[in-house]
Amino acid sequence: MNAQNAIDLPQSNARDAVQGSTWHSQIPDDKAMLRAAVDLTRDIATARPGIYWSDMLMSALVGYAALAGAILVGNPAVAVLLGLVSSLALYRALLFIHELTHIHKDALPGFRFGWNLLVGIPMLIPSLMYEGVHTQHHARTRYGTVDDPEYLPLALMKPWSLPVFALTAILLPVALLIRSAVLVPLGVVFPPLRKLVWERASALAINPQYRRRKAEGEFARQVFWQELGCSAWAIAVLAASATWGWRPLLIALCVVSFTALLNQVRTLVAHLWENDGEAMTVTAQYLDSVNVPPPGFVAAMWAPVGLRYHALHHLLPSMPYHSLAEAHRRLTAHLDAGTTYGKASYPGLAPLLGRLARSTMKVR
């Protein structure tokens, strides 16, 4: 199939036009869908502070309370159950970092500071690790290219790459602890180490070629205080563990490891990962992304805070998470069945993982 054929096809057949190929810039934009996405959702595009604060605070409260219970309880089975509850609740609390990268700085006064204080710093994943990084993933000319910090053509890689990609997340909590307690303080003394840590270990990126640029202006000041808070907390945790025992820390690391693994599995199905490095149209980006809409409530646990509507999020990056379900309902009702919008919806996690695994099996 040549580029001209792809351009001349009707927009509703964009997905069908590239079956068996990789997504690329020649997929035409479905202008009717893009226009509808904006026009039908203007009245629900404002973030509601009451929802954000109550959701984040409740998730953090449940997560920390269940973690304390897992540490203190004597029954192993109950401890495991509480650890699972803690992991799921803290997972939801952590994923508000995604919202922080998209909401206007004046939309939720104090929310960034409150989230960092209650979630980001205690979990050693402050907002600096996503802000200024994730927006590059949404850049029109970066998505799916070598300049995208959050993209790898996983569907075009060897089968063994998928379990390796998922399981490396288990080591994330230990890596974060070493980063904040050891590497960041040493970087104050050794500038080359500070530069290396910033470029290579200060972003929630999956692209190994990504190098982070130096922070500047107000963001650099935020980075300083967030790094200071994380380092102080990490050192205090290690000192307390050395004094009173390592069991609480080990349990906490296990809980966070499961959270990281869950997020990594979610990442595996956030996109189809079928682009081979070309810049893509907005519609192509949408079709390479995934919605897992209702019915079914399980997706709300493994893709919380609106991430079950990840494809829709790529159409409307600034739409607050609490409005995505309504936006999806309106677009589904407005656009005819079989049009481009419906082609990004999938029934669940297992079919998506199966599709990805089958794609890797075809790689020679």
For residues 260 and 267, what is the distance between their CA atoms, to the nearest angstrom? 10
Average pLDDT, the chain: 91
Mean pLDDT for the stretch of residues 25-47: 92
Cβ-based neighbour number of residue 20 at 10 Å: 6
Q: What is the pLDDT of residues 297-342, one digit of tens each?
A: 899 999 999 999 999 999 999 999 999 999 999 999 999 878 899 9
What is the model's pTM?
0.91
DSSP percent split of the chain into helix, strand, coil, nearest 5: 65, 0, 35
Cβ-based neighbour number of residue 78 at 10 Å: 12
Q: What is the pLDDT of residues 148-182, one digit of tens each?
A: 999 999 999 999 999 999 999 999 999 999 999 99
| Site of tokens 């069991």 | 247
Q: What is the pLDDT of residue 12?
A: 36
Strand partners, 356: none
Q: What is the pLDDT of residue 22?
A: 54
Q: What is the pLDDT of residues 67-83, one digit of tens each?
A: 999 999 989 999 999 99
Q: Which residue has the higher pLDDT, 24 or 35?
A: 35
Q: Is the pLDDT reported for residue 25 higher than 80? A: no
**Token pair for 283:** 């519609």
For residues 293 and 72, what is the distance between their CA atoms, to the nearest angstrom? 38
**What is the 3 state secondary structure string of the chain?**
CCHHHHHHCCHHHHHHHCCCCCECCCCCCCHHHHHHHHHCCHHHCCCCHHHHHHHHHHHHHHHHHHHHHHHHCCCHHHHHHHHHHHHHHHHHHHCHHHHHCCCCCCCCCCHHHHHHHHHHCCCCCCHHHCCCCHHHHCCCCCCCCCCCCCCCCHHHCCCCHHHHHHHHHHHHHHHHHHHHHHHHHHHHHCHHHHHHHHHHCCCCCCCCCCCCCCCCHHHHHHHHHHHHHHHHHHHHHHHHHHHHCCHHHHHHHHHHHHHHHHHHHHHHCCECCCECCCCCCHHHHHHCECECCCCCCCHHHHCCCCCCEHHHHHHCCCCCHHHHHHHHHHHHHHCCCCCHHHHHECCCHHHHHHHHHHHHHCCC
Question: What's the pLDDT band for 88 if we cut at 50, 70, 90?
Answer: very high
Q: What is the pLDDT of residue 115?
A: 98
Q: What is the pLDDT of residue 24?
A: 58
Q: What is the pLDDT of residue 104?
A: 83
